[in-house]
Structure 1
Amino acid sequence: MRAPVLAALALLTVGTLVAGNSDPLADRVAGKPVRCIDIQWNGGPEIVDSQTILYRESGKRIWKTGPVGECASLRPLDTVIVEVYGGQLCRNDRFRTVSVGMSIPSGYCRFRDFTPFDKVK
């Protein structure tokens, strides 16, 4: 088991998928899912819906993940609290959320694999 370097890292999400906005993955092609991503080069997380979380690596690449199973507390504009082990975020790493105006975090959820989405050339 990996030892935690940071016990919890709170990242404020910014929901960009609101009525009238386009899908941020619409002009991108999915690559092969990976187990871990380097968090130092990624912005995010951005909660899209109860099954989708995006991390933006650059203008070219967006990583898509979501919870393993159901994570009822996952909603756009919530804050995600991630338990980080080393410099990577990996499948099965735990996270919780805090809703706007609340101070008590949700129960734990776990990440799925991370799928890269790159812009079409």
Structure 2
Amino acid sequence: MLRTHLISVLSASVLLAGCNYSDAESAPAPIRDKEAKVLEKELKGKVAGEPRSCISNTRNVNAIRISDDTLLYRESGRTVYVNKLRSSCPGLTRGDDIMVVETYSGQLCSGDLIRLVDRTSGIPGPVCSLGDFTPYKKAK
């Protein structure tokens, strides 16, 4: 009986922990030097285009975690998409968590959900929503 009660309490705590972030915790972590260098390298010599709501979800698209509210999607050596999430995704830049993207079409779209899952325990973390994708291409 005590074990069942303990499991129920722990389960409820985990669920609440995933949903109950204060404003301080939900503020995006500042971009660290390492990520700033990656961002600079990926966008060097490229200019921003018009934001898009969806991009191709091929195996060639690599996601790069820049900050708790910014992802880069490298489609090729020529195009990089910057995605500002609709809100901060605490822990995204830790990189330890598995990032599971739930798409509702054959593409990555604004509004699709990202779920972080602890790699070791399998405990789900925050759920975050993709924003628009701004393409960056080499200047002509």
TM-score w.r.t. structure 2 length?
0.65
Q: 2:89 aligns with which of 71, 87, 91?
A: 71
Task: State, as a whole percentage, how many aligned pairs show the same letter.
Answer: 35
* The structure with more strand, counted as a fraction of residues: 1
8 Å contact 1:42–1:55 — kept in the other structure?
no
Pairs within 5 Å for 1:1-121: 18=34, 21=37, 23=40, 24-40=42-58, 42-77=60-95, 78-99=97-118, 101-121=120-140
Classify 1:100/1:18 alpha carbon distance in 2 versus 1 (closer, same or farther; 3 Å).
farther
Structure 1 residue runs without a partner (length 5+): 1-16
Higher relative contact order (CA 8 A, sep 6+): 1
Match for 2:124: what amino acid?
P
Native 8 Å contact 1:48 1:76 kept in 2: no
Distance in 2 (CA, whole Å) between partners of 1:91 and 1:20 is 24
Whichever residue aligns with residue 63 of structure 1, its letter is Y
Structure 2 SS opposite 1:29: strand
**What residue ranges of structure 2 are gaps of 5+ in the alignment?**
1-32
RMSD: 2.3
Alignment partners' CA distance in 1, 2:133 and 2:34: 23
Question: Structure 1, residues 77-115: CA drift from partner, whole Å, max 9, x if none?
Answer: 243110022211111111112355452221211000011
